[in-house]
Amino acid sequence: MLDIAIFAAATIAVLLLLAFFQAPILLWTVASGLMLATWAAALEFSAQTNAVLFFLFILIAPVLAVPAVRRRLVSDHVLAIFRRILPDMSQTEKEAIDAGTVWWDADLFSGKPDWNKMLAIPAPKLSAEEQAFLDGPCEEVCAMTNDWEVTHEYYDLPPQVWQYVKDKGFLGMIIPKQYGGLGFSAIAHSAVIMKLSTRSNALGVSVMVPNSLGPAELLLHYGTDEQKHHYLPRLAKGIDVPCFALTSPEAGSDAASIPDYGVVCKGMYQGKEVLGMRVTWDKRYITLGPVATLLGLAFRLYDPEHLLGEKADLGITCALVPTSHPGVVIGRRHLPLNAVFQNGPNSGKDVFMPIDWIIGGKDYAGKGWMMLMGCLAAGRSISLPTSSVGGAKGLARVTGAYARVRSQFKTPIGKLEGVEEALGRIAANCYMMDGVRIMTAGAVDLGEKPAVISAIAKYHMTERARQIVDDSMDIHGGKGICLGPNNWVGRGYQVIPVGITVEGANILTRTLIIFGQGAIRCHPYVLREMRAAKEMQGAAASIEFDDAFTSHIGHTLSNGVRTFVHGITSSRLGQVPRNGAPETRHYYRFASRLAAAFAFLSDVSMLAMGGALKRKEKISGRLGDVLSMLYLVSATLKHYEDQGRQKEDIPLIRWVVRDLLYAAQEAIDQILSNFPIKSVATLLRWTIFPLGMSFRPPLDSRNHECAKIVLEPGATRDRLTDGIYVGTGESDPTGVLEAAFLATIACEPVDEKLRRAVKKGQIVPQPGVDLGNLGIQNGIISAEELALWQRKEALRRNVIKVDDFPQDFGRAELAAKFAQKTHAAKAA
């Protein structure tokens, strides 16, 4: 019996090793033959038994090891079933799936992320010219912009700010220099948007939109030479202000179903009959629409008279239309939660326009969805993630400062544990978000168009920003809820749902896009299987499907075994980078374990639920959560390496990575609890969590260390909030706050002297008499210390005050002010 047990254990060990390292089928076959022969010899099977076993092996081995035999007996039959059950994809679905590129997300989906490859990705760097732009024009335009005036008085950027933005080329950052643009890198584009967003949401958005998905981006990739040379220099110099009209009342997140349409026909343009189209549209939520001079327009184009070709329904088409063109109706403005960036509806009915106004010319008629999907990832990787990071950094800095300046119960509120808990979250999330921003923008600079990663970045950066602004508002309390020129958190709190909603509503991005698109694009074999089934025929389809299908089986089996082994060994066999920091090596192991578990769980879910998984949005959303957490962990760990392993940042790493790992574990637990096939769910739980769920949320002690970073001045706080605009001078609300923060800390020894004196009875506090004056009268503090204390007190009172207004909230005063400006302008 002992021999049998030893042989059985050895056999299991060999099988586990083969699966763990995803051995090729030929090696499985050879190993199986050797193990069978070893068993036969060791256990002294009878000749008849050996003959039967040999016969079975001879029958099965070719099916496993010989592709031609395997295809004929197995794979071709599976391919036939696959073709019957696999639903057809629409053209727009195919274009969405094919859009963009896969990058680090493919490594995570493989279940075996190569951390060495990730750390070898070069960290993006700003050029000297880009840094000078950040230090010069960016700082200048921020100093020119008063957000209270923007949001309360002008309901727009002031004219001088608009003109400065145009003159300095802010609207043409992505346009190459050959067309008069700045030709900035993605990381510079990101850095500019981040800084502007910390000063004014309207400023950030007004610069962000022309540099995101819109006319310039589409022209660069698909425009004719004539279109590029005409429009790009005008866009770069701000002569033309662009907008892009996609969203319709009947087509929001389901943008592919837009009802706006055009019909190819002939008509008169500039006194001549030309080939063109009559377009009818009704759009809304169009940012910069009310002030745009150039309208990018998406609509469905029909050619009933076949003037362009055989097809009658050409599909979604993108055109450029001057807003001065007859028939274009620029509507009034929307007011999205008091965010005053220019946004509004536009429309047109039977508006004739030349066919040459199609971006790319008539050859690109009907290719609009492909164009949009191809350009979406780059803009989505930068715009909203970056503005969210800017908001997070700004709030981390001001909220930490305020929590040190503001005292209650004779204690700075930042040292109260309830407040400290929120501060720690803000600091740690801010660190992670900046890592995601840099890594994602860096991918764009490397030539990637990361479709899935951009969706992860957009969803999670806006959601983390929502959590940060909620925490900040809780800490500021009454100071935060009373709007006014001295409120630095209120407007951010108001507008955060805008970022949650646009560029793909978050609720649908999470449940439909991250895993739904990722499962096809990022999986190493699923897309190959689908293309073999739907786009290939004959021997080519058979060969491709067989290779993908058999590799897929090995992939699933390998990840299942690796998941189980990592579970019973507490991730000790997880991959780590060769040159990774010793203090973070265990996090790489944990992430490797969860990556294997995610890959295995994804495959089993797709097998068990098939096409129904697409409709099981709660489960697919949680699968997307796991993939997202792995990307956020990756970006955080890479950020630590790229910043030179700053030891003071370790508390931030420990808190945020532990938080992310725990969130991934909870998402897996919820998937298993709600898995429709309970027996499979039980098997999955035994495989993924053989010793139970081991990840725990961050410790309170780590949270305390994170909170201290934003409560104390120094290099760590500055590094965490690097790249934001900090107001200078005590006429600026954030400048006053920064001064009060530094003065409060400088004055703490004086405050401590006064507290001790009161406690000992050396000073008796008196109503209406400053404690500092009592201190100098009683010889407790010096004149220099009194001056320090009085400055601190003046700044503190300035910081904690809230704004108030006349009964009409200053409307009469504003009306008089604008009337005076109008009169002066007319006189000039």
- Residues belonging to the active site: 503
Q: Cβ of 710: how many Cβ atoms within 10 Å?
A: 26
Name residue, tokens 């990663």: 453
The candidate with the shortest Cα–Cα distance to 397, out of 10, 61, 13, 740, is 740
Tokens of 26: 């030929």
Contacts 24+ apart (CB under 8 A), 614-618: 614/516, 616/676, 617/511, 617/512, 618/511, 618/674
Count Cβ atoms within 10 A of the Cβ of residue 74 and give its class: 0-12 exposed, 13-18 middle, 19 or more buried: middle
Tokens of 132: 């000078």
**Main-chain dihedrals φ then ψ at residue 221, nearest 5 degrees:** -90, -30
Cα separation, 114 vs 112, in Å, equals: 6
Q: Is the dihedral of CA 634, 636, 640, 642 positive or negative?
A: positive
The candidate with the shortest Cα–Cα distance to 519, out of 616, 384, 436, is 616
DSSP string, 213-234: TTHHHHHHHH--HHHHHHHHHH
Residue 445 near residue 184 (C-beta atoms within 8 A):
no
DSSP string, 332-358: ----GGG--S-EEEEEEEEEEEEGGGB
Exposure string (b/e) for 772-789, b if CB count within 10 Å is 16 or more?
Answer: bebbbeeebbeeebbebb
Which amino acid belongs to residue 140? E
Q: What angle do CA 424, 427, 432 make, to 5 degrees?
A: 125
Tokens of 18: 């083969």
Residue 340 near residue 359 (C-beta atoms within 8 A):
no
